[in-house]
A and B are shown apart, each in its own frame.
Chain A
Amino acid sequence: MEKLIFKVYRGDSGKGELKEYQIEVDEGMVVLDAIHKLQATQAPDLACRWNCKAGRCGSCSAEINGFPKLMCMTRIDELPKGNPITVEPMKAFPIIKDLVTDVSWNYEVNKTIPPFTPKPPEPDGTWRMQQKDIDRVQEFRKCIECFLCQDVCHVLRNHNKHSQFIGPRFLIRVASLEMHPLDTVDRRELLKDQFGIGFCNITKCCTEVCPERITITDNAIIPLKERVVDRYYDPLAWLIRQLKRVFKPSAK
């Protein structure tokens, strides 16, 4: 057991500061354990969200030594030795108190995404799908909504484009619907306009911080961008659509 110095953000939306604590650390402890110990012994009113403590619910997102991480999956012995360990709330969202931020914006964004709308089932009322056709979407559906990708995204974090850009988490969600073998809705116009996919300039920061290792940029955002480009900006595709319209006047 050794004593380490932690600097933990204490405060609310008005003001706050990093407060220093000494915490005794056991072998294998994660940052969330240290926070729990702090609550039990020194700071009973320290606010932090957590649930599963196993990297499955995405509640305990924070910035540890400046990096967006899940506190429950960050082992203390893997952090650089000698320096104090800083634990701060996510920066892309307003602070409620201490390590807790107001992430309600994300829930509002989710409501604006048109829901799953399947094609008609087969006569027995079910659908057949091959595993290889759903692998990609299953990757997206691993998302635990920790919002670390939203936190690190400079469009949200630095430029505050929350009203024009839905962020990596919800581009993943749109991708999981757009690439779902059964879904029938076309969300490309929304992606281009309301969802602001053009704001993403593929810096891949989101992919780097994803605790579920979803290849957000390469597997979801870039293919979505391509779909939007094909639909709205490809002159050849535009020409073909026009010709189709001429030769099949009844078709839309």
Chain B
Amino acid sequence: MKEKVSDRVGSAFGGETYEQDVIVIGAGGAGLRAAIEARLQGLSVGLICKSLLGKAHTVMAEGGAAAALAYVDNRDSWKVHFRDTLRGGKFLNNYKMALLHAQEAPDRIKELEAWGALFDRTEDGRILQRNFGGHRFPRLAHVGDRTGLEIIRTLQDKAVHLGIDVYMECTITKLLKDGDKISGALGYWRTTGESVLFKAKAIVLATGGFGKAYRVTSNSWEYTGDGHALAYHAGADLIDMEFVQFHPTGMVWPLSVKGILVTEGVRGDGGILKNSKGERFMFRYIPDLYKAETSDTEEEANRWLAGDKSARRPPELLTRDVVAKAIVKEVKEGRGSPHSGVFLDIASRRSAEDIKRKLPGMYQQFKELAGIDITKEPMEVAPTCHYAMGGVRVDAETAAATVPGLFAAGECAGGMHGANRLGGNSLSDLLVFGRRAGLGAAEYAKKLSSQPTVDMGEVQQAQQQMSEPFERSRGETAYKIISDLQEMMETYVGIVREEKELSLAVEKIQQLKKRAQNVCATGDKAYNPGWNYALDLTSLLTVSEAIILAAKERKESRGALTRIDYPNTEEDWGKVNVVIRKKGTEMTVAKEPLSEMPEELKALLQETI
């Protein structure tokens, strides 16, 4: 149980101290699921939330959780889900993760139902599944367009009654080590600004992504790559950092809502994309890999919508990397909508009643924020930074990072999604690997003979660093530096990249790092966003540098990485991960081979279904 051990620590550290077997950093789906699992193993578990409990980014997930339950189409199975995931990831995925994910997702969804979740139903009373990009069959368990809320609330209520200690509005700034092993974490309470020390045998990172490195993003203020940066500085490997997912459909107008997510469920439920000429342009962008299973005429696509199982899927349901790039090209070639997007039309495809029932959130969002009635008019949409495929390199079975005692799950872990994530695979990912991380951390903690020792010198130094922004009388605010960073990332490291711009980005990031050394905060520490952002800035700069270096290293185009100077997908590059690692104070880049997939799994990938 939550044990305040401040008194036992002595005078070296002034703040509160808590001691637990397992600390989970991040309280979205992955963090909650990890905490639940570790607690079920009988350990004392602390769950640290950057915001209030239940507000993490998982609530923003709309469309659904992918699991081959085969309730709607009995041709589905884990094999097809595995194949779809690898094809979507352009074969760069950690195949062991993709395999476990495809095999275990159905059980994780059923488990949620046993914990009180209420998914939409089929006629025969089972869990209804919806179509989504890159998934061969209707596969996403969902609740209208608020699936993430259902999942986080279910996990939250489960966790609360298990006796997990929840630390809300607490940001971790440093992981502590005893030799090579994890020994704890240092952070601060947002409400008071006071530092707080957590001593732990094992730590699970579940901090999500880093969309805030970009200006136009569907991500919230929390998404500053904290877990990525904490792991990196603790000596863990990061992989696939060059792959940043831009969701094809974000809102574009009014400006103040630019980037807010429009669920892929709109297309899953029949929505189509049109350019300013009224053309259904996605027919022109079908990659060879998907030709055999994608409609090439509107007639066939319409039959699919009407429920004809022999018809192939419409091209709007190609993977996100393909659709995002197509939209960028349409706009660039002058066929965009008035606000540099394209039109997403559901009004002409489904009845107003259906739209309001299946997409109530989208209906409200457009009505209230943009003054658009989506049951009558098309939406204007364009790509928005959405998801980090790259993350902490982990062992598939246990979610263990390369630092003993450190585990990672959900968006902040890398490998599962390869070069491009399929929509719906993130909610299932966080359930499958959240559970595995909780289990892995618990098993590791149980085996540890004694509590690792926290180095109080390290603590004091980190504490000192936290206060520095207040000690500078002159300097820039974090708002300004973050805004410039976002603009730089968007300009030079956006959807389409090239060597010249990436080299410029390398220079620019060094300049920004220099400016960050002079970031200042005013006022006091209590609930001070200006100061909080100054600390988040450190993480943002670390992940941004990693994205730039990794993107520069990979000399090909694959999935979410488009290099106009290397437009082709190269076989040799399909065999390696780009690995980011800290050596001394330097960020280093290496190429390391993927593990070889067994023949029987390789055969699955070639199957045309």
Contacts and interface: CB of A to CB of B under 8 A. Distances in A.
Contacts of A121: 114
Interface string A115-130: 1101001000111111
Interface in B23-43: none
Interface string B166-204: 101000000000000000000000010000000000000
B253 to A, nearest CB: 7
B60 A54 contact: yes
Contacts of B256: 26, 28-30, 33
A188 interface: no
Nearest to A180: B116
Interface in A109-152: 110-111, 115-116, 118, 121, 125-131, 134, 137-138, 141-142, 144-145
A251 interface: no
Interface of B: 51-57, 59-60, 110, 113-116, 118, 120-121, 124-126, 128, 143-144, 146, 149-150, 153, 157-158, 160-161, 166, 168, 191, 220-222, 253-257, 260-261, 361, 364-365, 368-370, 477-480, 483, 521-524, 526-531
Interface string A26-46: 111110010000011100111
A205 to B, nearest CB: 21
A6 to B, nearest CB: 15
Residues of A contacting B: mostly:
loop
Of B114, B150, B261, B483, most A-chain CB atoms within 10 Å? B114
A8 B447 CA distance: 54
A145 B160 CA distance: 15
A69 to B, nearest CB: 11
A40 B217 CA distance: 18
Nearest to A51: B220
A202 interface: no
Nearest to B157: A115
A199 interface: no
Contact of B254 (A29, A41, A73, A111): A29
B403 to A, nearest CB: 29
A12 interface: yes
A111 B161 contact: yes
B149 A56 contact: yes
Given A75-B369, A128-B125, A39 B160 contact: no
Interface string A164-184: 000000000000010010110
Contacts of B523: 44-45
Nearest to B259: A53
B118 A141 contact: yes
B529 A44 contact: yes
A173 to B, nearest CB: 8
A57 interface: yes
Contacts of A128: 124-126
Interface of A: 12, 26-30, 33, 39-41, 44-59, 73, 75, 96-98, 100, 102-104, 107, 110-111, 115-116, 118, 121, 125-131, 134, 137-138, 141-142, 144-145, 177, 180, 182-183
B479 A142 contact: no
Contact of B479 (A44, A110, A127, A129): A44
Contact of B369 (A28, A50, A129, A183): A28
Contacts, number: 168
Nearest to B60: A52
B495 to A, nearest CB: 22
B143 A138 contact: yes
Contact of B521 (A44, A126, A137): A44
Contacts of B260: 53-54
Contacts of B524: 45
A38 to B, nearest CB: 11
A30 B369 contact: yes
A155 B114 CA distance: 35
Nearest to B127: A126
A170 to B, nearest CB: 12
Given A26-B256, A73-B368, A126-B126, A48 B114 contact: no
Contacts of A137: 118
Given A27-B254, A125-B110, A141-B153, A130 B220 contact: no
What 6 pairs between A and B have smallest CB-CB spacing? A28-B254, A44-B530, A128-B125, A45-B523, A116-B116, A47-B527
Given A30-B256, A59-B51, A116-B115, A97 B526 contact: yes
A150 to B, nearest CB: 14
A44 B60 contact: no
B521 A45 contact: yes
A142 B148 CA distance: 11
Contacts of A131: 120-121, 128
8 contacts: A45-B521, A47-B527, A54-B365, A54-B369, A57-B220, A100-B527, A104-B168, A115-B161
